[in-house]
Amino acid sequence: MMLHLLIFVIGCVLAGNSQDLLWGPYNPGVFSGFRSRDPELPTLSFLWHSFELNTSVPIRYTCDNEVALNGYGWTDFDPRLGGRHVVDDAGHKVIVETRFVKSPHGYVVRVQVDPKTPVSFLTYLHVDGATDSFDIHQGPDTLTVASVRKDYKFEVPSLHSFASFPVIEEHRYRATDVLAELIQLRLKKLQETYSDEEIKALSNAEYMLVPQILSPSANALFVQAIADKPFTFDISFVASKSAPQPVYVQKKYNDTLERIDQHFTDTYSFQAPFDTPEHRTFGKQVLSDLLGGIGAFHGKMLVDRTNRHVEVFDESALEDRVRPEDADEEGPYDLFTCTPSRSKFPRGFYWDEGFHLLPIIPYDIDLAAEILESWFSLVDEDGWIAREQILGSEARSRVPPDFQVQYPYTANPPTLVMALSSIIDQLHGFGARAEQSEFDEIDVYGEANTEMTTALKKVYPLVKMHYEWFRRTQRGEIRQYDRRSFSSVEGYRWRDRTATHCFASGLDDYPRAGVLNSGELNVDLLSWVGAFSRAMLKFAVYVGETEDAEDFEEDYNAVVRNIEDLHWIENENSYCDIAVVDGESVPACRKGYLSLFPFMLQLLDAQNPHIEAIVDFMRDPETIWSPYGLRSLSKQDPDYGTGENYWRSPIWININYLVLEALQKYGQEIKGPLHDKIMNVYRELRQNVVNTVYNEHKRTGYVWEQYDPDTGYGKGGKPFTGWTSLVVLIMNMPESL
């Protein structure tokens, strides 16, 4: 059965951004949701449920409802072209496939629903603006819907039932709640119209029909289809007067898949033993899911600036924090970003995002740069960027209250500058990348030219301000405890640490010094400052800021010297944090990922005498080596595998990726027996990590947040095609050095 839902959008232009990135599946927290980067334009999404009325299986809408799902995700996707998304819903016994294609004039979504039992499938359209509404006119077979305030209109077939109604702005995203209210309204009308015996005789489908409502001030619309056999319908946003014909849509879809496949092949060349068709298909799906997790977010953020300018921040300041209901709302802000996980973390995370962009840069450098620019547009007057971007009511509804408020003294690992550095590397000697499009003359991937350089020059002052904020607010105490080091200022301490957690570091429950003290110094933080200053040096040189470049070089050199002077502990043969106990400066060695930061961020000279000890440590199966990747904490640590066990044993792909990058660099620079040792560890680790992610995807259908070091099984959130998508770059690495 072929139905058609036609939506005309007239004159929708997003100033200052790529028009081919205007529309997309930019609501990643729902199974199938499409919206514009302009928050005033309509949001489209889908809901469905079977009529078996199984209360253990929720109505499908948001991705956090994963009960009885076989899997879901993008098999093919490119934000500039479109792609294919599939939900295999065992709980409701239906497969929902959405095919999304773009043209210069809009986009088309073809929805294919294959139920094994009667299903109710609902299209939900709403506007997020505070003042807009729909002007709806009912014809014999269709609804004609126009915007009261904006310049667009659309027509929809009435199908089985429809309802248009007003919903307050804060509740429009709560589609399942709105639907439940409508069904309750229908049941009430049934009770008023029919006897109890007549109502009992009604089928489940008749119970669940959306009541026919046409509200004069509607800003939300449900269109319902009920079927027990496969059916298909199109939804077309177009800037012309007629919708694309089905044959045209199918050709466009076929062209889209071909172009995605070709561009992926042109971008990535997986190396042995991963140069197989199966690994190529896997890699394309992982990248597609990463790109399909990009979101366009708009709204206000909760901020507590009570301790904004506290000079010596310690745990007592945590007691002054406000609850979400007492925090100030700031904004609204806009953010165009990838997301770590559509089910668990469907919003922007600062320390995740730099990793997200690394696989995207080779594929679409302009897209990566646009996302990077969006993040740096959030720099406030002090230079702060909130580590977690919880913008608006919908995003806030997915976050526990204790994590909703952001604090302007809290930092996060500055991974965005890794992406910035990678972009600059590609721009050096980077030729024209534009393609003569066969897809309606769209310039699909743009061109790395003077426009990119101009954009980078524009963002440079913001990044510099952020760098200065980072060093100023996280600076630690060196001379106060008679610590001897090359520099008296290049030592740092994460603010916002408690006895059990350091969320600012990104390593959450990874064990630190047992005694909290404002004199603590953190080796991972000093290493991140080193990576930041090195990236700023490269950035300053690229945009021609020579004097700044000299300052950044001085900062970098001082950091590298201080890493050795402050954090290398000879009798532990390891880099460690520094704590203060009874007024004395003492090492706090909790070996694991923390020990690797100077190495994996490539801050060590190839002649550094400690490299071999680090390589030996990571290859030791009694510490962090496992057949599936490097463990987060040494097996010898007393806290190994305890408590939440989030960063206390599991394997994290982002850290393993950084280690592999470092092994590759040092393996190419170092000769002799140490080279051979590094090469063997690199080759083994690369195979172990890829096999772990690939085999679990094959077994479960998902890419996972972390992996168990004893079994290789996935743990945490799924699908987690955030930084776990770095597996694509790992497969692209050389087999040997």
User: Mind telling me the catalytic residues?
Assistant: 508, 705
Residue among 274, 463, 448 at smallest CA distance from 366: 448
Question: Quick check: 523 and 575 in contact, CB under 8 A?
Answer: yes
3-state helix, strand, coil in the chain (%, to 5): 35, 20, 40
Question: How many beta carbons lie within 10 A of that of residue 315, not counting itself?
Answer: 13
In which residue are the tokens 């930019």 written? 26
Peptide bond into 332 cis (omega under 30): yes
Q: What is the β-pairing status of strands 295-303 and 106-115?
A: unpaired
DSSP state of 465: H
DSSP state of 566: I
Question: Quick check: 516 and 499 in contact, CB under 8 A?
Answer: yes
Residue among 429, 451, 428, 433 at smallest CA distance from 541: 428
| β-strand partners of 164 | 214, 221
Dihedral angle over CA of 417, 423, 424, 430, nearest 10 = 180
Report the Cα 647 to chain-centroid distance in Å. Answer: 19
Question: Quick check: 77 and 292 in contact, CB under 8 A?
Answer: yes
Output phi, psi for 707, to 5 deg. Answer: -135, 145
Question: How many beta carbons lie within 10 A of that of residue 620, not counting itself?
Answer: 13
Q: Which helix (H) or strand (E) holds 579?
A: strand 577-581
Coil/strand/helix, residue 426: helix
Compute CA distances 347 → 26, 325, 390, 619, whole Å.
Answer: 11, 21, 7, 36
Q: Please, which residues have CB within 8 angstroms of residue 607's CB and are 6 or more apart in sequence?
A: none
Residue among 347, 367, 227, 387 at smallest CA distance from 291: 367
The one-letter amino acid code at 342 reads R
Give the span between the Cα atoms of 723 and 283, in whole angstroms.
13
What is the chain's length? 737
Give the span between the Cα atoms of 509 and 319, in whole angstroms.
20
Question: Quick check: 466 and 545 in contact, CB under 8 A?
Answer: no
In which residue are the tokens 């740092």 written? 492
Give the span between the Cα atoms of 571 and 576, in whole angstroms.
11
Cα end-to-end span (Å), the chain: 56
DSSP 488-549: SS--B--SS--SS-BGGGT-BT----SS--TT-B-HHHHHHHHHHHHHHHHHHHHHT-HHHH
Question: Quick check: 11 and 151 in contact, CB under 8 A?
Answer: yes
Question: Quick check: 638 and 674 in contact, CB under 8 A?
Answer: no
Peptide bond into 719 cis (omega under 30): yes
Structure tokens at 168: 């307050």
Question: Quick check: 332 and 391 in contact, CB under 8 A?
Answer: yes
Q: Please, which residues have CB within 8 angstroms of residue 74's CB and are 6 or more apart in sequence?
A: 83, 84, 85, 285, 288, 289, 291, 292
